Structure 1
């Protein structure tokens, strides 16, 4: 492997609670076959294979080590390293662990969440190719998702002047906006959603941490230096890692660094952040229903515009519309379409009603 090889960094530490009851802390959504026969993790890993790419570095929760290794082995991918976080400290420290494990200081790291959908992989690869020359010069690059709605659940990026074909300087990052501001940005053009996918050299990222988040850099360096290593599995020192500030890459680095670029791209992206989002990207029958049984059975008569999932029990529906119905294990979720973001309320209510130990 050479320093010019792109090293995929797959972030797999999320808990995926917004897709309860199928997604749970012990098996969050990246390990589920939500959009295809393969899991979200497997589809993510497949996006970055071939002559240009090296073996991936996976950063995951220590509790999920078996699932990571088994699922990647099933598709014939052996990671260069699996870094197992003793606790979640957000994306900036997680990426620092991967950068410290990179095979070369100048390795280009392609940072990808493990639980996103990219329908047009060719467009993604074209965006990567457009970014690479700037990455070689030391720029930190993010990929901006071409917006098609005034989305308030994502951060936005305002694109600045062009600095290379298809690449712009970032003018500013915008927090998750209220609806009126999102509508204004969509109408104005020159804005993109922040999809959380990045490309930069390992040494440039670590240098940015040294300048803007030195405590985080010190903590992650110590955690990796004192890590236990078992084959490809790295267990960073828990006490050292706990000393790191918990912060996203956007806050810790991207909003503060000088040479930050964005490649706007339309690539059929979704973060599958809710059951409604999954319905929006799923194939539907002539009645608008998206149903998929993974070990269960779904029967829908005179039913329209519903999302139905089961991994065990039979779900039978007659004469209903615009529902989300998900059956997993001993739990069944039923709610109107358009309200799946309220699952957080359900989970809090279930915690409050649980028997006290």
Structure 2
């Protein structure tokens, strides 16, 4: 079973006034009738998936369970971050939780505010990565960018991906500076 770990502790400041600190973008129906959080949880549900493990802030714990129930999904475990410390500590908390509750689980880390137009293709990509993950490798998923952007990091691959198959990663480049992004 794949255990989806949904990260939803964001502050909601980028899309104000629609998204705000008390109700960040992942809990708002920006695209379609369901929220980005609900769409993420639905995308990572089904026979190959355990109920999601959700990491969120205390302010959002009731929104998380309510939105999962409204979507007809099992809320699973909800871990409350005592203080927002970004992605790495949240992933560590999820890994430690799973190590004690289900040591054989495959952990799939997913932000809860992404729009993925083809959920079936995404699930197929996840399924294709399972053997490598079971062999102890870290598997990452991404899109081919159209341009460099200073707000996002990127993965440098050793070769271009072919037909959606895995390509070894050379390095991760954290948010490039403006000079690099303009190249």
The DSSP-based 3-state class of the residue aligned with 1:152 is: coil
Which entry has the higher C-alpha Rg, 1 or 2? 1
The equivalent residue for 1:167 is 166
In structure 2, C-alpha distance between the alignment counterparts of 1:136 and 1:21, rounded to whole Å: 43
Per-residue CA deviation, residues 134-173 of structure 1 (Å, 9 max, x unaligned), is: 10010111112111233332111111269xx811221011
Q: Is structure 2 residue 135 aligned with structure 1 residue 137?
A: yes
Q: Secondary structure at the match of 1:55?
A: coil
How do 1:240-251 residues align onto structure 2 when only pairs under 5 Å count?
A: none
Equivalent residues of 2:69, 2:75 under 8 A apart:
no
Tell me the equivalent position of 2:154.
156
Q: Report 1 or 2 for greater relative contact order, CA contacts < 8 Å, sequence distance ≥ 6.
A: 2
Match for residue 122 of structure 2? 124
CA contact 1:150–1:179 (8 Å) conserved in 2: no
| RMSD of equivalent CA atoms | 1.9
SS of the aligned residue for 1:71 comes to helix
Q: Deviations over 1:256-312 (max 9, x none)?
A: xxxxxxxxxxxxxxxxxxxxxxxxxxxxxxxxxxxxxxxxxxxxxxxxxxxxxxxxx
Query: Is the Cα contact below 8 Å between 1:57 and 1:83 reproduced in 2?
Result: yes
Where do 1:109-258 residues align within 5 Å?
Answer: 109-160=107-158, 166-179=165-178, 181-182=180-181, 184=183
Give 3-state SS (helix, strand or coil) of 1:111's partner: strand
Total equivalences in the alignment = 179
Deviations 1:31-71 (A, max 9, x none): 10111111111011000111101100000001111111111
Distance in 2, Cα, partners of 1:150 & 1:174? 11
Quote the residue 1:48 is aligned against.
44
Distance in 2 between residues matched to 1:182 and 1:171, nearest whole Å = 19
1:106, CA displacement in angstroms? 2.4
The Cα shift of 1:122 comes to 2.0
Give the TM-score normalised by the residue count of structure 2.
Answer: 0.90
- Of 104, 107, 121, the match for 1:106: 104
Q: State the TM-score, normalized to the length of structure 1.
A: 0.48
- 1:96, CA displacement in angstroms? 1.5
2:68 pairs with 1:72:
yes
Structure 1 counterpart of 2:82: 86
Distance, in Å, in 2 between the alignment partners of 1:34 and 1:182 is 28
What is the distance in 1 between the residues matched to 2:150 and 2:55? 28
